């Protein structure tokens, strides 16, 4: 298409848009200012508005905006110096490998753990161990995700994960 043809097309499109807009304004004014007396005019003006819109260019539908999902953002904190850090929270403790030494409970700054007696019928436990205590998670929701428990555990029993805000 030549430049002149493009210009003509653009002019025609603007003209059709203007006509559609004028009819839409008439319909708007009728509804706002001339009811109920102008009731009979609703249909012809609405039809003309519709026809004018159909004659014009088809509007391109706006692409749907991706909804932000703030709840999927991980919980983060700030250091004293203002740097961001992401806590990893205790989500699991493997009692099969735990030897009940109590280190994680001692180092935890929150009331997350409870050292309990191992079930007598716990098949997973190695009977050679003379300690029949095992660590359990008592208050998972008190965890602040510092990771200290995992650092002192000699058996790597703890599993930590960062968690979304809505977890």
Question: Which residues of the chain form contacts with ligand SF4 (CB under 6 A)?
Answer: 90, 93, 98-104, 107-110, 112, 135, 143-149, 152-155, 157
Nearer to ligand SF4, 45 or 149 (CB): 149
Closest approach, Cβ 158 to ligand SF4, in A, equals: 6
Q: Which residue bears the tokens 């909804």? A: 67
Nearer to ligand SF4, 107 or 163 (CB): 107
Task: Give the contacts of 54 (CB within 8 A, at least 6 positions apart).
Answer: none
Closest approach, Cβ 142 to ligand SF4, in A, equals: 7
Q: Quick one: which of 104, 117, 114, 16 has its CA closest to 58? A: 16
Measured distance CA(105)–CA(109) in Å, rounded: 9
Nearer to ligand SF4, 45 or 157 (CB): 157
Closest approach, Cβ 155 to ligand SF4, in A, equals: 4
Measured distance CA(159)–CA(97) in Å, rounded: 12
Q: Quick one: which of 142, 155, 144, 141 has its CA closest to 104? A: 155
Nearer to ligand SF4, 17 or 110 (CB): 110
Closest approach, Cβ 160 to ligand SF4, in A, equals: 6
Give the HSE-up count for residue 61: Cα atoms under 13 Å, Cβ half-sphere.
Answer: 3
**Token pair for 6:** 């493009």
Measured distance CA(150)–CA(153) in Å, rounded: 5
Closest approach, Cβ 115 to ligand SF4, in A, equals: 7
Nearer to ligand SF4, 20 or 93 (CB): 93
Q: Which residue bears the tokens 């002192």? A: 152
């Amino acid at each position: 298409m030549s430049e002149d043809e493009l210009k003509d097309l653009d002019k025609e499109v603007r003209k059709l848009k203007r006509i559609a807009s004028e009819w839409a304004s008439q319909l708007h004014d009728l509804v706002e200012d001339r009811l109920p007396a102008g009731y009979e005019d609703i249909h012809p003006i609405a039809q003309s508005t519709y026809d004018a819109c159909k004659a014009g260019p088809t509007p391109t539908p706006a692409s749907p905006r991706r909804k932000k999902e703030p709840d999927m953002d991980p919980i983060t904190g700030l250091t004293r110096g203002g740097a961001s850090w992401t806590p990893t929270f205790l989500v699991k403790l493997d009692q099969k490998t735990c030897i009940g030494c109590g280190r994680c409970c001692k180092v935890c700054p929150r009331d997350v753990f409870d050292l309990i007696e191992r079930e007598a019928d716990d098949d997973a436990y190695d009977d050679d161990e003379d300690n029949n205590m095992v660590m359990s998670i008592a208050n998972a929701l008190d965890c602040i995700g510092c990771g200290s428990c995992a650092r002192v555990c000699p058996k790597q029993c703890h599993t930590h994960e960062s968690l979304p805000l809505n977890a």
